[in-house]
Structure 1
């Protein structure tokens, strides 16, 4: 999660998302291969823990922002499909890695992982910049429309940062990111009729640098509310740490505790696909899905102290997994809805840093709670109360969406 600020800094230094993913893949592959020659655990902490982890973190951030900018329609469904790969990877690669270690040994496994990470450079290369498609306006001729499309196509839109002499003096408008009035007038073909204003080349073409750092997000009160909600939801990650321990404390074996968490992961795969279907196909408001996800996360935690069998604990894990994975998939969708597509990179970087920090803090707090009470039930009640607070705060997001405060 700390990869967000690193990617944002790279973007501000004129790197593109495509370049970030390709370079990140190369560094991850080289670091994994270097790990196969590590003489001690201290070296592995640096080569695999920091270098590989940091490279994958940067890629994780860049690919989420790329998806958010690629899709205007069916964005939630697209993010859900992409996020499901994380669940499949967790479910399959943990098992395969164990088999690979037993056959090739630890050093051979690091070499194979390095080869897998090289594929990230290929995936990054496929994330090509988007070209805008200008809709046909009934008020202009076909030749004029063709000229507009050609001009739009000649300008790079999406993730590449290129200097353009005609746009050096352009400014980012605080309210709607439009071109400021003090720049050179638009070419004649774009000034054919005032009626094509809404149809012409998107302002992102002229304001590409605004896509990478957008200070106007700090003026949006609903963005702060979204940060507060995800501050409470971050405690849900502790569920995966304490359920296996609680299972052992009530007499179940460690293998059964691990099985419960495997089912938690499988349900997560289905959940990220389901939330996209509900948002984009069934057209359920994303703000309502956020509240439902918060309540599901809270319910999954508060029921655990009443469960002592593998069946009931698995049910609690499934309920918690649905809520947790819903909220993960909705991050980019809600950011783009509240702030607009051009603010995804900056806002998601801030949200990633916040949640990454809380993923460190909350387990420690839960540890102190358990040490003070010696009861796992208090830990789960504490987590349920925090996440329930998130569902209460989500009422503000529902209000914003119903009253038309969302940008998208």
Structure 2
């Protein structure tokens, strides 16, 4: 009987998953594009609460899982070095590919949306693929298989869930968006804090292969988080600042525009002429008529509608020299991501046990939470210029990397890890702010997409480069000296951003 009950529960779960993925009701589908001058009052309007807080919880747990998986890379690296007995540079490829793949979620989500998939479907499918790939990683016979199953498949699946979850949260909030995103993003730090310690406790009992199985079960929960992301339904927005007379006049103008584009025949010519004449006589120019008409048109047809339809990339961003400077700065700053992989390995090299290395990474994760809250407070409340904050965060990242080779104890290594974490994650929080400041909000999507794609590529390159440097010198100090030199180059380049903001070159 217990076995029969288990099979029934499994069958019900499969049916429910199939229903959630493929049996979408019409109300759950994404609203169709609204043509100009049709249903001007219907749109997707963020509720700023209600079910949005459930979406916030789902995004928090998604960030907890995704960034927690990124944070345990160094702990798993130590175990895989013993399991496969391969070189450090080759074993590091697994986690460098994994970290880089987590930055390419936007590309795959955009492709899925083109095929009319919803964010809920994307997240549920991503969770299933991530879970199956993690389970397959437990049976991997060599490094090459792990690069594919864990580095590529799990990494891309987590990237899709991470991107879709945060974008879905943005759809549910407008006035409280900053608060909701702040709560959701804090899940990343809690994930890094807890999963490092839990992984260290799990590995002695279940080995690294058993750990991959348990991680597969954890990743299956992403399907549940995705199921909570219910699509928004279109609602009717009433514009309170437009009077009834102005709205009636606008409706008449819309009717005239529709009549102008409708096909005519000989029998209806007279009716159309009379209607047009009647409308032209009734419509009187209101003081705010042009403003009202433009506001309604902008609600119906976005300003970038025609550019998106033509598919051309906005080339104006490549004419801005400060955008190239920002790319160069974050090219150098991306080296900080390698610290999450190499700090636990360095801790083992100076005689610290695995539990202490995990505690250091847990402190590293908590520091990332504090850093993101701190930089927001300094920028929005204290009103410190963002270019100054960028310079300070880059300097903190580089200084932490430079001092790590001088650490010979748990306390000093934890202090340098905190210094590096505060600087690196504060710089991550400033990416969108600096992009908008240099190029403006209208170019943010294209420019930020280019920036994150480039950073994702560097997340793959830098850890492999560090592994090669270690094998050539057999000293971790050389690795950290090289990374700090690259990071200090970004500090020098950021002086150009300070000059740009000080001289009024920022758009916003």
For normalisation by structure 2, the TM-score amounts to 0.60
Equivalent residue runs for 1:168-317 within 5 Å: 192=288, 202=298, 205-208=302-305, 210=307, 214-317=314-417
Shift of 1:15: 3.4
1:71, 1:78 within 8 Å by CA — same for their partners in 2?
yes
Task: Supply the distance in 2 between the matched residues of 1:406 and 1:146 (Cα, whole angstroms).
Answer: 42
The residue number in structure 1 matching 2:126 is 28
Tell me which residue corresponds to 1:158: none
CA contact (8 A) 1:235 1:362 kept: yes
Quickly say closer, same or farther: Cα 1:254–1:229, change in 2 above 3 A. Answer: same
Q: Secondary structure at the match of 1:303?
A: helix
Q: 1:84 maps to what in 2?
A: 186
Instruction: Give CA deviations for 1:242-263 in whole Å, capped at 9, x if unaligned.
Output: 3333333333333322322221
The structure 2 residue matched to 1:116, chosen from 221, 227, 241, is 221
1:90-118 Cα deviation digits (max 9, x unpaired): 22345557788979x76974664354111
Unaligned runs of 5+ in 2: 1-99, 254-260, 262-282
| d(CA) in 2 for partners of 1:381, 1:50 | 29
CA contact (8 A) 1:8 1:346 kept: no
CA deviation string 1:303-335 (max 9, x = no partner) = 222221211111111100000110111112222
- Which has the higher mean CA deviation after the structures are superposed, 34-43 or 56-65? 34-43
Instruction: Look up the SS of the partner of 1:368 in the other structure.
Output: helix
- Return the match for 2:159 from 42, 57, 74: 57
In 1, are the aligned partners of 2:250 and 2:293 still within 8 Å (CA)?
Answer: no
In structure 2, relative to structure 1, the CA distance for the partners of 1:338 and 1:113 (3 Å cut) is: same
Instruction: Let me know the Cα RMSD of the aligned residues.
Output: 4.3
Instruction: State the 1:59 CA deviation.
Output: 3.3
Distance 1:197 1:237, change over 3 A: same
Q: Is the CA contact 1:234–1:359 (under 8 Å) kept in the aligned structure 2?
A: yes
Cα distance, 1:47–1:117 mapped onto 2, change above 3 Å: farther
Alignment deviations for residues 144-176 of structure 1 (CA, whole Å, 9 cap, x no partner): 379889x9xxxxxxxxxxxxxx9xxxxxxxxxx
The residue that corresponds to 2:460 in the other structure is 360
1:174-209 Cα distance to aligned partner (Å, 9 max, x none): xxxxxxxxxxxxx99999456779977658724246
Larger radius of gyration: 2
Q: What secondary structure does 1:275 align onto?
A: helix
- 1:344 counterpart residue number: 444
Aligned residue pairs total 368
Secondary structure at 2:506's aligned position in 1?
Answer: coil
Closer, same or farther: CA 45–235 of 1 in aligned 2, 3 Å = closer
The structural deviation recorded for 1:388 is 1.2
* Aligned residue in 2 for 1:160: none
TM-score by length of 1: 0.72
Whether the 8 Å CA contact 2:387–2:498 is kept in 1: the answer is yes
Report whether the alignment pairs 1:125 with 2:230.
Answer: yes
Unpaired stretches in structure 1, ≥5 consecutive residues: 152-165, 167-186
CA distance in 2, matches of 1:84, 1:304: 26
- Rate the CA distance shift 1:362–1:330 in 2: closer, same or farther, 3 A: same
